[in-house]
Chains A and B, each alone.
Chain A
Amino acid sequence: MTSAALVAPYQDLRRETLARDRGLREKVMSLDAAAQLVRDGEHVAIGGCTLSRTPMAMIWALIRAKRRKLTISRSITSTEGDLLLAAGVSNHVITSWFSQGIVWGVSKVMRHYTERKLARFDEWSHMSIGLRYRAGAMGLPFMPSRSMLGSDVGERVADQTKTMACPFTGEPLVLLPALNPDVALIHVQRCDAFGNAQLDGLQFMDIDIAMAAKRVILTTERIITNAQIRRLPDATRIPFFAVEAVVEVPIGCAPHECYGVYEPFFAALDDYAQRVAGDAVAGCRQYLEEYYYAPTSWPEYLSRIGMEATLDACRRGRSVYND
């Protein structure tokens, strides 16, 4: 791969950023409208990690909008990766770990697509993914690191990295190319109509992803007023001018978790695991049929997961604030 293809040219990045409407304006829209902001073939970074703060409603909308050939990047990829591959939306995943979760074993959907070379899975170490987003967020073309040296993980992506001796100390370093995703999908607990986003609990790589990306689509548990944001500006993690769209989607990560609001829907996750335990691709497609294509709205998707399961996840989720 050429260096130019790996790292966005700095002047292009600046020009694109300056061309964005960075005024304090309302940008609330529907899931469907937000899905239209993502174009086929783009690099879409997904916020959250494993089962946490996955922007599932936005992924649901992208799958329904039949986006194609997306490159997906995420710190750790869970069931949403299965679904994006099986729906034909993505054929390239950049991540450090890809399976539903340790307790459910190795994803057979991921295995099907990667082992048959139907999709590409670029494996980077966790910190390397994070430093690549951070370089992108900092407006730098690369970040040096001491990790990934000497291993086959580093060797396997060596066509995308460089190594050098530190110009000060002579120590060996790996240079990780910046990631500037075309779009970042991030789910938060609350934001205002302008896109000032406040995050509770674990932040994962979301702030770097937001600042590295060329467009940010925020989904949020609730929209609050700008006056409320201004009362606690230190809780704001993503500034409005980085954000292109705001979509209010309560329970927008189900069946994954949203810190302080709901824990993972464990029964739903066990059910999914069972569906993909046999013929994984058929099971996953059947799941897509029932949960992604058949429901006409996100509330209808949630109805299929069930009121009891939702209330149980919410009770457990809010319990972090009980003591």
Chain B
Amino acid sequence: MTEPAAAYTASELLAVMASRLLRDGQIVFAGVGVPLLAATLAQRNHAPHLTILFEGGTIGPFIVPGELPPSTNEQRCTRRANMVLPITDVLLLLQRGYVDVGFMGGAQIDRFGNLNSSFIGEADNPKIRLPGSGGGNDISSLTDMIVAMKHEKRRFVEKVDFITSPGWIGGGGTRAERGLPQGGMWRVVTDLAIMGFDANSREMKVLGLNPGVSREQVEDNTGFRLAFEARLETIEPPRQQELAVLRELDPQRLYTA
């Protein structure tokens, strides 16, 4: 960050910016970490009727501050929930069409919003075998997506090595042609900017720059030619109140270090 006054971590910034994208009344299928923090922050501020779903099988939990779950599958994910149900059935809510937004972190993304969490290098002969899809493939196949991730050149690549979680596939109408007429990558939130996708070409484009971030900085940290909206949104820096909520939720900085 450029100014000393900006006393927040990159993860906190991601959580704040992402929370502002969520709307009241939405059903949000969230991963743990930044997505969960962002959704909870939205509930506390402008979206009290937002419902969180966890792929472990929980509908509408409220996380106990300081007791963040290590994955979506522990009892910490069920506190004050309305319902718990089998994994397959909570994922089927996506297919049935009840979910407004899927929200997760990303390891590698390309200019059409495809995510890779499976292989670095050739799948048959990988440099690194990553953990894999989990629910990521299902969520991104079946609903609109927000991804929150660090903005680094090695993570923002022209073409991902492997499409684990499909975005707009090859751009244009290819997602629908490949069997996915529903859903698609909607927003990418990073520590540098907020990005969306062109309605026709489905190429990633910058919608707004985070406070103190220059256009060149975003370009330098992106591995492909990035489009910019003609009139960029003005993004307000995180407010003290927003940061205070995040620090109350994650006092040990498990996900916001």
Contact = CB atoms under 8 A, between A and B. Distances in A.
Contacts of A298: none
B169 to A, nearest CB: 6
B198 interface: no
User: At the interface, is chain A mostly helix, strand, loop or mixed?
Assistant: mixed
A208 B86 CA distance: 9
Contacts of B162: 152
A248 to B, nearest CB: 22
A153 interface: yes
Given A50-B71, A96-B133, A96-B134, A205 B86 contact: yes
A97 B79 contact: no
Interface stretch (A62-70, A82-90, A98-106): A98-106
Contacts of A96: 132-135, 137
Contact of B95 (A106, A146, A152, A207): A146
B166 A150 contact: yes
Contacts of A115: 126, 128-129
Nearest to B127: A115
B87 A204 contact: yes
Contacts of A154: 137
A125 B95 contact: no
Contacts of A73: none
B129 A114 contact: yes
Interface string A152-185: 1110100000010000000010100000000000
Contact of A320 (B75, B92, B138, B180): B75
A201 interface: yes
Contact of A98 (B75, B77, B132, B175): B132
A121 to B, nearest CB: 7
A145 interface: yes
A171 to B, nearest CB: 8
Interface in A30-61: 49-52
B179 A123 contact: no
A65 B83 CA distance: 40
A127 interface: yes
Contact of A125 (B58, B74, B137): B137
23 contacts: A52-B73, A96-B134, A97-B133, A99-B131, A102-B33, A102-B71, A107-B131, A110-B131, A111-B128, A125-B135, A126-B135, A127-B95, A130-B91, A148-B141, A149-B180, A150-B141, A150-B169, A150-B175, A152-B118, A154-B137, A208-B88, A263-B75, A320-B79
Given A111-B128, A130-B88, 5 more contacts: A51-B70, A127-B92, A146-B142, A149-B179, A203-B87
Interface of B: 32-33, 55-58, 70-71, 73-79, 84-88, 91-92, 94-95, 118, 123, 126, 128-138, 141-142, 162-166, 169, 175, 178-180, 182, 254
9 smallest A-B Cβ distances: which pairs?
A: A130-B88, A150-B178, A149-B179, A125-B137, A97-B134, A172-B179, A127-B91, A99-B131, A126-B135
